Amino acid sequence: MSWVLRNPPWRFALRHGLLAVLFCDVMSTASAIIFDIDDTLYPERDYAFSGFAAVAEAFADRLGDVREAAARMRELFDTEHRRRVFDRFLDERGLSEDTGLVRRLIETYRTHLPAITLYPDADQALTRFSRTHKLGLITDGPARQQQAKIDALELPPRFDAIILTDELGSGFGKPHPKSFEMMADRLGVEPGCCVYVADNAAKDFLAPNALGWITVRIHRAEGIYRDAPAAEGGGVAGAAQHDIDRLDQLDAVLNPSVARPRGLGPTDPR
Ligand SMILES: [Mg+2]
């Protein structure tokens, strides 16, 4: 009995987004799916490699052979130097004395026109869900860099609302709840009817979980944060409520009764 008092069914249901789904179904309230960008809709690794090519091209007079320089940066990306590829690269070339150079490399990287494309399942999911849900985008990172990605992927006409947390001011990046509250407000949707799909458990799910959103983590095969441990914040869970590998699995998460008819298991060959 005491366990029941400490763990009432409503708490379990709320934690797992069941009440939210029920509320949305019963009330026929418009619901919304909000996506992260990097490693959710397109491979972030491709953005990095595109940036290395742009930097190698722009600074060929200092960095030498363009193809060789870009190849070395790609190699460094797969080492423990991933977060400081340019520092390490300039160090190897004996150019680390030029402190202004690394700044210019980073500026070129962040402002280059990226050669990136959506994951095919993301492209299909955006088309499919645009018929039934409002769609939003919340992304961290330098605003100009994220906007360049959004433009390269031709995302603006496919979303009802896009929020770059960098434009909200300092300190409002994920996991701060401001962008999530703004998104629900902008879309005119109850928080319990919002779904957030993202890849990085270290920061992506803390705020939407606390606000009563449904949260879904996507594990991309080459995702940079695919193994990131979940954040913990004041007792609020940082782990997503659902896990998927591809966005065509999202339909089953949002509407399990339709995607998995009674008597059929998730692995039924039909
Ligand atoms: Mg991401």
pLDDT tens by residue, 64-105: 999 999 999 999 999 999 999 999 999 999 998 888 999 999
SS3 state at 136: strand
270 Cα–ligand 1 center, Å: 33
8 A C-beta contact, residue 140 and residue 174: yes
Q: Is the pLDDT of residue 185 over 80?
A: yes
162 Cα–ligand 1 center, Å: 15
Beta bridge partners of 138: 163
Question: CA 126 to CA 153: how far, in whole Å?
Answer: 12
52 Cα–ligand 1 center, Å: 20
87 Cα–ligand 1 center, Å: 24
63 Cα–ligand 1 center, Å: 30
Q: What's the average model confidence in pLDDT over 151-158? A: 98
37 Cα–ligand 1 center, Å: 6
Q: Is the pLDDT of residue 50 over 90?
A: yes
Q: Is the pLDDT of residue 265 over 60?
A: no
Residues 6+ apart with CB under 8 A from 145: 110, 111
4 Cα–ligand 1 center, Å: 37
Q: Is the pLDDT of residue 245 over 80?
A: yes
Residues 6+ apart with CB under 8 A from 94: none
Question: CA 51 to CA 108: how far, in whole Å?
Answer: 8
H helix intervals, the chain: 2-6, 9-15, 18-27, 44-58, 60-63, 66-77, 85-92, 99-111, 120-129, 143-152, 178-187, 206-210, 250-254, 256-259
Residues 194-241 pLDDT 10s: 999 999 999 999 999 999 999 999 999 988 888 888 887 666 688 999
Q: What's the average model confidence in pLDDT over 119-125? A: 98
142 Cα–ligand 1 center, Å: 14
Q: What is the per-residue pLDDT for 23?
A: 55
Residues 11-34 pLDDT 10s: 444 444 455 555 564 444 449 999
Q: What is the per-residue pLDDT for 226?
A: 81
Q: Please give the mean pLDDT across all residues of the chain.
A: 86
